[in-house]
Amino acid sequence: MTGPAIDDRYAVHGCVHDGAHGARGPRPDVPDTPLTWLTIGLPTMASLLVVSLRRQGGRSFTARCQWPRLHPLNERVAAVVHHPLIMVETTRQLARAVELHHLAVAGPPRPPLEPVSVRLGVHPRGRPTERGSATDVEARVVLSDLPSPRTGPPASCRVTAEFLLHGVAFASCTMRLTRPGCAAAARAEAVAPPRLSYPSAAAVGAAHDPDVLVARTPQGRLVIAPRDPGHPVLLPGRPARMPAPAVLEAARQAALLCSGMTSAAVTGLRVDLHAPVPPCGACVDVAGEVGGARFLVTDAGRTAAAGTVSLLRP
Round to whole Å and give the CA distance between 170 and 155. Answer: 31
Torsions phi, psi for 307 (to 5 deg): 175, -165
Same domain, yes or no: 139 and 228: no
Q: Is 115 helix (H, G, I), strand (E, B) or coil?
A: strand
Q: Is residue 79 part of a domain?
A: yes
Tell me the C-alpha distance between 294 and 226, whole Å: 21
Whether 197 and 271 share a structural domain: yes
Domain end position, chosen among 133, 149, 180: 180
Please give the angle made by the CA atoms of 203, 252 and 75, to the nearest 5 degrees.
55
**Residue 180's pLDDT is what?**
83
Q: Give residue 133's region: left, alpha or beta (phi > 0; psi -120 to 50).
A: alpha
Residue 47 lies in a domain: yes
Which of 129, 159, 180 is the last residue before a domain boundary? 180
What is the four-CA torsion angle of 175, 176, 181, 184, rounded to 10 degrees?
Answer: -60
What residues have CB less than 8 Å from 217, skipping those under 6 apart? 193, 195, 196, 197, 223
Same domain, 29 and 160: yes
SS3 214: strand
Provide the pLDDT for residue 127.
83
Is there a domain that residue 101 lies in? yes
The b-or-e profile of 221-232 (16+ CB within 10 A means b, else e) is: ebbbbbbbeebb
pLDDT confidence band for 149 (50 / 70 / 90): low
Quick one: 214 and 263 in the same domain? yes
pLDDT digits (tens, 9 = 90+) for 252-302: 999 999 999 999 999 999 999 999 999 999 999 999 999 999 999 999 899
Say yes or no: 28 and 157 in one domain: yes
Domain boundary among 122, 146, 180: 180
Instruction: With a cut of 70, say whether residue 27 has pLDDT above it.
Output: no
Query: Do 122 and 174 fall into the same domain?
Result: yes
Looking at the fold, whether 199 and 156 belong to one and the same domain comes out as no
The CATH number linked to 296 is 3.10.129
pTM: predicted TM-score of the whole model, two decimal places: 0.85
Provide the pLDDT for residue 43: 73
Same structural domain, 196 and 107: no
Shared domain for 77 and 225, answered yes or no, is: no
pLDDT tens digits, one per residue of 60-83: 999 999 999 999 999 999 999 999
Question: Does residue 204 share a domain with residue 165?
Answer: no
Which pLDDT tens digit goes with each residue over 182-225?
Answer: 444 444 455 667 789 999 999 999 999 999 999 999 999 999 99
Give the pLDDT band (50/70/90) at residue 4.
Answer: very low
Residue 1 placed within a domain: no
Q: Which pLDDT value is given to residue 124?
A: 78
Residue 6 pLDDT > 70, yes or no?
A: no
5 belongs to a structural domain: no
pLDDT, averaged across the chain: 84
Per DSSP, helices labelled H in 139-274 are 244-259
Q: Per-residue confidence at 230, pLDDT binned at 50, 70, 90?
A: very high
Query: 265 with 146, same domain?
Result: no
Do 163 and 103 lie in one domain? The reply is yes
Q: Which domain holds residue 95?
A: 15-180
Q: Say if residue 114's pLDDT is above 70.
A: yes
Q: How many domains does the chain have?
A: 2
